[in-house]
Chain A
Amino acid sequence: MYSKIAINNVKMSFRDYAIYFLTLTLAVCIFYSFNSIESQNAILELNKNATFMLTLNKLIAGTSIFVSFVLGGLIIYANKFLIKKRKKELGIYMTLGMSKGKISIILLFETFLIGTVSLVAGILLGIIGSQGLSILVANILSVDMDKYKFVISSSAVIKSILYFGIIFLLVMIFNQFTISKYKLIDMLNAAKKNEEVKLKNAFVSVLLFMLSMVLLTIAYTRILKTGLNADNTELLVTITIGFIGTLLFFFSLSNFFVHIVQKSKRIYLKDINIFIIRQINNKINTNFLSMTLICLMLFVTITLLFAAFDLKGTIDRNSAGNRDYDASAFLIVDNKNENTMVNDIEEYLNAINFKFSTNEKHAFYSEYKLNITIEDLLSKYLSMQEQIHLEQNYLGGKISAITISDYNSIIKLNGYDPIELKKNEVLVVSNYSRVNSALPDYMKNENIINIENKAYTIKNQAPIEENIKVTGGNEFFYLVIPDNFSGDLQLEFTSFNVIYDDNNYENSEEKFSNLFNNLFEDKYRDINPALVIGSTKNQIQDKDNGFAALIVFLGLFLGLIFIISSAAIMALQQLSDASDSLERYKSLKKIGVTEKLINKAILRQSLIYFLLPLGLAVIHSIVGISAVNNIFTFHYQSIIVSSSLLLIIYGAYFYATYAGVKNIINNSN
């Protein structure tokens, strides 16, 4: 009997439940997709790298718990809205003599029904969606798709059911609690209650609005000045100021706005603008807290998505010149120790009995430090920000150098012809020009470098952008100096580069990666105490790709959850508000407002309501992104991908809301 009422209720109020259902399904779908990733083939390819898999699994598990808290909050909030909307209906049940316990049972059935249907639909959708995600991840990881297979992850299914099961259980308990609190009279009169405008005084609202503007400006300048380099307390202060500014902005905005618009009679007294403005004023004023929350959530999402997509781009771009050899290693020279045994990598390799086979082309070379720093060199062309950036990327300090004969021997591995260098000439090898224009400006304006009061002409017009070794680092800067360089030279590294033979690639790769892993684990300490670090091109690629995948992955996961959560809250608020304002729309119709005008009013309201938090979030993000700009450099591609993702989901919710509100109002008579 009760289940029958429950089923009919869900069927009848499907319109009200549509957005709720949609959100639940989407949430389950996203949750499943991301949790299923560990069984996806693309990732299985990476399974060879055990530590990466462990990190990935841990991160997903942690994020899933966080996400389920967010979703739990969202679902309880949404559910509260639905109950509020049905207060009158529930009140009628009570006047008919149904006990609160029995009403609770009906609601229990309803939650169960909706939960089950959305869980099943979400998992089915997720199984399809995860295949797309798998392709995306494979793309990031540069894994070939030949081995692509349709996968259903049973562990992810179980996990989704478990997590959402717990959430729904909580919702049911929460419902019981809410119902037991209601009084019958309030339930029957629920429709008649009106929102109270909290802030009425024009002067105060203008003052608060100004204050919010000032606070936001302070927060912006602080973050732009120091970026994220500021220490934690400073950053916390900035974030707090920004938060309060945002809060006050939404608290005072609508009132301030009303007073401004009232001044312009031409807008104020056009069509039913009076009505629209008052409606929005009411709504924003009541919902300023959730508006603030949504705005901040969108801000985090936008920044997250940008950063995630961009990191991938940054890594790809930086790796370009860093991948010219198959493997390299360097020994960190201890200049206090005279023993060549611990300072020469060739002797080190002999000591641990490591031999190059004949088909592994290799070259040994030494890296020195010159008595000049990059800051000295480029100071005229660097801004404050760029100087800080320089130091953060370990590029600061003394300039590294390599002799021309060593340089020629390593480029010979790749089949390049040797370069001749006169005794007063140097070559610049650096990709620093990709970060900013200081180096190109320098090379254009002054083609001489002074080292210890001796002038050297820069031989090349533009810097050589190929690194001298394989490295996971981003930027590099070397000077190639003549063999008979007379200035002060301090030996820093002794190194080697290798190029494998194509026919024996796999064997060599295994041999060198084993060597480097052993070096990393300090296995030869007893034989030779020197510190040697090395990596193969493949190792670095896997590490970079894995890192990029991880960030993109988690960025997408959180970003998507945040977007649907904020859009769903907006949608639910709009819809519940539409039912509350039904009487007003009826009055409008009675005094002769045409349906066209009413639809226009609904569109404008929904649009303003949806765009306000997004607008401020976008401004926040622009500032925030410029602040982190010295960590990542942004690409158009990432802007397009992340904004279209945001717009599609947000836009879909906006449209669903607009259609829903229109439906409620136009079908009212």
Chain B
Amino acid sequence: MQNILSVEKIEKYYGNKGNITKAIDNISFRVSKGEFLGIMGPSGSGKTTLLNCISTIDNVTTGKIIINNKDITVLKAKALEEFRRDELGFIFQDFNLLDTLSAYENIALALTIQKRDVKEIDHLIKNVAKKLEITEILNKFPFQLSGGQKQRVACARALVTDPSLILADEPTGALDSKSARLLLDSFEKLNKEYQSTILMVTHDSFTASYANRILFIKDGRIFNEIIRGNDTRKEFFNKIIEVVTLLGGDVGNVL
């Protein structure tokens, strides 16, 4: 399988001499094309820092991050902006939809900033809308949409540019359980039917149970790794709960 993302021995320090906090302490892992990777960990474990480093929003202290054969740790600011625009798709906890634009326009924006040809834009949006079943709501404004619909529009925006890697940061964090389930079903469908590569950060075990593989992080290190294999989601969920219990903390988030 082709490697989309390789993280090699990265470290991230905060603070100065004598008072160093290691937010990430020697983490390495790989994500192949078409994989759905979950990253779990209690708050303060470094998972958001890790995501920020991968998404080029933050930079690492040492180590390499290679996405689609490009080492992003050596890219210049301008190249980084372009890389972020062309290779990555983002899904945020708080959607980050522009409230002044309609759903259609929100999705179109991702394409127009890539300076795509005007003729293909409409076609691409219609396609992605069909995949995520949001065709009917394309002309609505965010304030007219439910949380779940908003997140699916955000999802469409991340997908429409056909990025190498989709980064999702607590995508279900702001959703009720029904909407969360619908969204995760869409994720699963995207991953299975369209071979999208997804990297999802979450501390919710139910959300994590949709992934193929889960990395557990604690105190900036990889603490455990479990693979779903041929397990049903229920079996996989139980395994996750076991690890979470082992990890300690965050018990409140188990349910």
Residue B81 at the chain A interface, CB threshold 8 Å:
yes
How far is it, in angstroms, between the C-alpha of A270 and the C-alpha of B113 when the chains are bound?
7
How far is it, in angstroms, between the C-alpha of A194 and the C-alpha of B143 when the chains are bound?
10
Residue A593 at the chain B interface, CB threshold 8 Å:
yes
Q: Is the CB of B115 within 8 A of A271?
A: yes
How far is it, in angstroms, between the C-alpha of A18 and the C-alpha of B99 when the chains are bound?
29
Count of residues in B whose CB is under 8 Å from the partner chain = 27
Residue A619 at the chain B interface, CB threshold 8 Å:
no
Q: Is the CB of A592 within 8 A of B100?
A: no
Q: Is the CB of B109 within 8 A of A272?
A: yes
Residue A142 at the chain B interface, CB threshold 8 Å:
no
Q: Which of B81, B82, B101, B121 contacts A275 (CB 8 A)?
A: B101
How far is it, in angstroms, between the C-alpha of A273 and the C-alpha of B121 when the chains are bound?
14
How far is it, in angstroms, between the C-alpha of A597 and the C-alpha of B118 when the chains are bound?
18
Q: Which of B88, B90, B113, B157 contacts A272 (CB 8 A)?
A: B113
Residue A279 at the chain B interface, CB threshold 8 Å:
yes
Chain A nearest CB from B85 CB (Å) reads 4
Q: Which residues of chain A come closer than 8 Å to B98, judged between CB atoms?
A: 275, 278, 584, 587-588
User: Which bucket holds chain A's interface residue count?
Assistant: 20 to 34
Indicate whether A584 sits within 8 Å of B113 (C-beta atoms), given known contacts A591-B90, A591-B157. Answer: no
How far is it, in angstroms, between the C-alpha of A647 and the C-alpha of B217 when the chains are bound?
60
How far is it, in angstroms, between the C-alpha of A590 and the C-alpha of B157 when the chains are bound?
12
How far is it, in angstroms, between the C-alpha of A265 and the C-alpha of B116 when the chains are bound?
12
Q: Is the CB of A269 within 8 A of B81?
A: no
Residue B237 at the chain A interface, CB threshold 8 Å:
no
Indicate whether A590 sits within 8 Å of B97 (C-beta atoms), given known contacts A269-B121, A271-B112, A278-B105. Answer: no
Residues of A258-284 whose CB lies within 8 A of B: 265-266, 269-275, 278-279, 281-282
Residue A668 at the chain B interface, CB threshold 8 Å:
no
Q: Which residues of chain B come closer than 8 Å to A178, judged between CB atoms?
A: none
Q: Which residues of chain A come closer than 8 Å to B82, judged between CB atoms?
A: 594
Q: Is the CB of B92 within 8 A of A590?
A: yes
Residue B110 at the chain A interface, CB threshold 8 Å:
yes
Chain B 79-111: CB-based contact to A (< 8 A → 1; otherwise 0): 001101100101010001111110001001111
How far is it, in angstroms, between the C-alpha of A282 and the C-alpha of B141 when the chains are bound?
13
Chain B 218-230: CB-based contact to A (< 8 A → 1; otherwise 0): 0000000000000
Indicate whether A591 sits within 8 Å of B100 (C-beta atoms), given known contacts A266-B118, A269-B121. Answer: no
Q: Which of B99, B113, B122, B143 contacts A592 (CB 8 A)?
A: B113
> In the complex, which residue of chain A has the Cβ closest to the Cβ of B97?
A587
> In the complex, which residue of chain A has the Cβ closest to the Cβ of B88?
A592
Residues of A587-612 whose CB lies within 8 A of B: 587-588, 590-595, 597
Determine which residue in A270, A282, A587, A597 has the highest number of CB atoms from chain B within 10 A of its CB, and name it.
A587
How far is it, in angstroms, between the C-alpha of A265 and the C-alpha of B108 when the chains are bound?
11
Q: Which residues of A contact B (CB under 8 A)?
A: 194, 265-266, 269-275, 278-279, 281-282, 584, 586-588, 590-595, 597
Closest 8 CB pairs of A and B: A592-B85, A587-B96, A278-B100, A592-B84, A594-B81, A274-B105, A265-B118, A269-B118
CB-defined A-B contacts under 8 Å, sample of 25? A194-B143, A265-B121, A269-B111, A270-B118, A271-B115, A274-B108, A274-B109, A275-B98, A275-B105, A275-B109, A278-B105, A279-B100, A584-B99, A584-B100, A587-B96, A587-B98, A590-B96, A592-B85, A592-B90, A592-B110, A592-B113, A593-B85, A594-B78, A594-B82, A594-B85
